[in-house]
A = this chain, B = another copy of it.
C-alpha cells in the first residue's frame, strides 16, 4: 500500500525547511485543531525556533492557506484530468471516483484539515479555495450531465447526484484508517462501482 505522506503533496516546496514546516503544521492541526495550535507548537514540531518559522511563513494562517490550496489544487487536477480523459462518461466517472476516493484515503490527515478547517481561512484565501471547490463541483456535474445527455446515466437531479459523489469521497478522510480499512485503491474501485449504480449507469456502459 502506498501512502501519500503530506510531503508528497509539496514536491515543489523549497527550501526543505518550508516543507518541514508544512508537515509539522499538518501534524499539529490534526492533533489539536487549527485554533488550539500556536506557531510555537509548529516550530517546535519542525525542530525550529518561532523566528525561523516566520522566515518562511508570516503566520499560522499562511501555513493553513498553503495546505488548503495545495490540497484543493491536487484534487481539482485529478478530477479535471479524469473528466477529460479517454473513454465514455461511465469510464471517466469510474476513474474520477476511484482516484478522488483513493486520494482522500491516502492523504486522510491532510484531507481532514483541507475539508474541515475552511472557516479558519482568511477571507481572500477562502475566496480562492471556494473557486477551486466550485471548479471541482462543475467538473463532476459536467461529466454527469454529459452521461445523461448520452443516455449512459439516468439521474433526475444532477446537482444532488454530483454532491453525493463528492461527499462519498470526501467523507473517506473522516473515517479512514490504514489499519482497519482496505487499501486506498481497492476502496476507490468499490466506491466507483457504487457510484455508477447510483447514477443508473447502463450495464453495458
Contact = CB atoms under 8 A, between A and B. Distances in A.
A194 B116 contact: no
Given A33-B35, A36-B35, A157-B190, A168 B168 contact: yes
Say which size band chain A's interface belongs to: 20 to 34
A135 interface: no
Contacts of A191: 160, 164
Contacts of A174: 115-116, 167, 170-171
Interface in A137-164: 156-157, 160-161, 163-164
A200 to B, nearest CB: 6
Contacts of A32: 35
Contacts of A160: 187, 190-191, 194
Interface in A96-122: 115-116
Contacts of A190: 157, 160
A35 B38 CA distance: 12
Contacts of A167: 167-168, 171-172, 174-175
A97 B94 CA distance: 24
A197 interface: yes
Interface of A: 32-36, 115-116, 156-157, 160-161, 163-164, 167-168, 170-172, 174-175, 187, 190-191, 193-195, 197-200
5 contacts: A32-B35, A35-B35, A115-B174, A167-B175, A170-B174
Given A167-B171, A171-B174, 15 more contacts: A32-B35, A33-B34, A33-B36, A35-B35, A35-B36, A36-B36, A160-B194, A161-B194, A164-B168, A167-B167, A167-B168, A167-B174, A168-B171, A170-B174, A194-B198
